[in-house]
Copies of this chain bind each other. A is one copy, B any other.
Amino acid sequence: VLAARLHDNHDLRVEQVPDPTHLGPNEVRVRPRWCGICGTDLHEYAHGPLYVPKENLPQILGHEFSADVLEVGSDVSGVKVSDRVAVLPHVFCGTCYFCVRGRQGLCRSLRLTGVSWPWGGLAEEAAVPAYQCIPLPDEVSYEQGAILEPLASVVHAVERSTRAGDRVLITGAGPIGQLAVLATAAAGASEIYVSEPNRVRRQQAERLGSSAVFDPAATDVGEEVRERTGGLGVDASIECSGSQAALDACVDATRAAGYVAQIAIHVGPRTVVPETWTWKDLTIAGIWSFKFYDTPRILRQVAAGKLPVERIVTSKIEVTDIVSKGIERLADPSGDQVKILVSLHPDGHGGGEG
């Protein structure tokens, strides 16, 4: 089958690999339909291998995808052949401290499909643990299903920071920030402010339902937010950019006793002023992954039309174009792309009808 494999940084090849065979008793063979390109994929391509173990190279990428189930292992009971599913990347042990407490995303021996597992979503077929397959309700398309993984992380950030009725600041309007606009709205936020330097992304955030968008290069975000909130600040902020300035803006713009959710991965150290955390009695929540078994309920929200996640998609491409039309466009800081979905079956069997 065709697969996009990372051989080294700047060396991603779309090439034939042997079919998945010898399915384990608790595994399934799936046919990926749509697979999203994630920011970490860009990092692996530009600076990697980072989270991809060196010894795994060449690694099939792709950890945000929907699929059809083609075959199930002998002990599989939760999914069946021809099920339409979202595939979550988590490979977890089920018995460690975190797994038995319902926090499988923090499994002490966590691996990730598309990062540190033999298969990934950027392949015509893949073999994955059956529990990774979350059935898609009829109302949910393959495209929407491919966005479940980042959506679930954002929902986790929202749960740890935001209460219905809150005024919220989102810094960074890449795919995570755009999903944060949708997820805070779905959770009842009353006002959603977005700070983002890229004009195209600001416009998209506005279309998705932001109350106001700011260019942090032109605006003092904290001041602007205070002006719009009677001098108080927002109840919660969600940092989705990974920049020092945005982290500072979140702490500055959030009211006392408020919440800052830190979901972007910040590469390297940052300078902070903990004294401000103290004066504000602030809560800062580092956000990793999500509660694995919350994903069916999130899909139900998508099915009910409350999380129109397909609206963050700016392009749909074929896997053979993944570098030129995918990674390179996303890596351009002044570019116009937010989320690009890759079809694994460009011959017409892709998710178009999904």
| Interface residue ranges, A against B (CB under 8 Å) | 94, 97-98, 100-106, 155, 158-160, 163-167, 185-188, 190-191, 211, 232, 247, 255-257, 262-263, 265-289, 291-294, 297-298, 300-301, 303-304, 306
The answer to whether residues A98 and B283 also contact, given A165-B294, A188-B188, A278-B288 and a CB cut-off of 8 A, is: no
The answer to whether residues A188 and B167 also contact, given A270-B274, A271-B270, A274-B262 and a CB cut-off of 8 A, is: no
Residues of B contacting A262 with CB < 8 Å?
Answer: 274, 277-278
Ranked 3 nearest A-B pairs via Cβ: A277-B286, A102-B102, A190-B300
The answer to whether residues A282 and B286 also contact, given A164-B186, A187-B188 and a CB cut-off of 8 A, is: yes
Other-chain contact of A297, B190, B268, B282, B287 (Cβ < 8 Å): B190
Task: Pick 6 A–B contacts, CB within 8 A, sort by A.
Answer: A100-B102, A155-B165, A159-B163, A164-B188, A187-B187, A262-B278
In addition to A101-B293, A283-B283, A283-B286, 13 A-B residue pairs with Cβ atoms within 8 Å of each other are A98-B256, A98-B257, A106-B256, A106-B257, A166-B297, A185-B306, A187-B188, A190-B300, A270-B271, A276-B286, A278-B286, A278-B288, A280-B288
The answer to whether residues A271 and B271 also contact, given A190-B297, A257-B98, A297-B165 and a CB cut-off of 8 A, is: yes
CB-based contact B278/A263 at 8 Å: yes
Q: Tell me the bound Cα distance from A275 to B267 in angstroms.
A: 7
The answer to whether residues A266 and B257 also contact, given A166-B297, A306-B188 and a CB cut-off of 8 A, is: no
Q: Tell me the bound Cα distance from A190 to B301 in angstroms.
A: 5
The answer to whether residues A286 and B306 also contact, given A187-B164, A300-B190 and a CB cut-off of 8 A, is: no
Residues of B contacting A97 with CB < 8 Å?
Answer: 232, 255, 293
Residues of B contacting A273 with CB < 8 Å?
Answer: 266, 268-270
Q: Write the nearest CB–CB distance from A242 to chain B, whole angstroms.
A: 9
CB-based contact B288/A281 at 8 Å: yes
Residues of B contacting A191 with CB < 8 Å?
Answer: 300, 304
Q: Tell me the bound Cα distance from A188 to B74 in angstroms.
A: 38
Number of copies: 4
CB-based contact B279/A288 at 8 Å: yes
Q: Tell me the bound Cα distance from A77 to B106 in angstroms.
A: 21
Q: Please, which residue of chain B has its CB at the minimum distance from the CB of A98?
A: B256
Q: Please, which residue of chain B has its CB at the minimum distance from the CB of A103?
A: B257
Residues of B contacting A98 with CB < 8 Å?
Answer: 256-257
Q: Tell me the bound Cα distance from A273 to B273 in angstroms.
A: 13
Residues of B contacting A270 with CB < 8 Å?
Answer: 271-274
CB-based contact A274/B286 at 8 Å: yes
CB-based contact A266/B271 at 8 Å: no
Residues of B contacting A294 with CB < 8 Å?
Answer: 165
Q: Write the nearest CB–CB distance from A193 to chain B, whole angstroms.
A: 13
Q: Write the nearest CB–CB distance from A87 to chain B, whole angstroms.
A: 17
CB-based contact A281/B275 at 8 Å: no
Q: Write the nearest CB–CB distance from A304 to chain B, whole angstroms.
A: 5
Q: Tell me the bound Cα distance from A217 to B90 in angstroms.
A: 39
Q: Please, which residue of chain B has its CB at the minimum distance from the CB of A284?
A: B284
CB-based contact A281/B274 at 8 Å: no
CB-based contact A165/B300 at 8 Å: yes
Q: Write the nearest CB–CB distance from A50 to chain B, whole angstroms.
A: 11
CB-based contact A266/B256 at 8 Å: no
Residues of B contacting A278 with CB < 8 Å?
Answer: 262-263, 265-266, 286-288
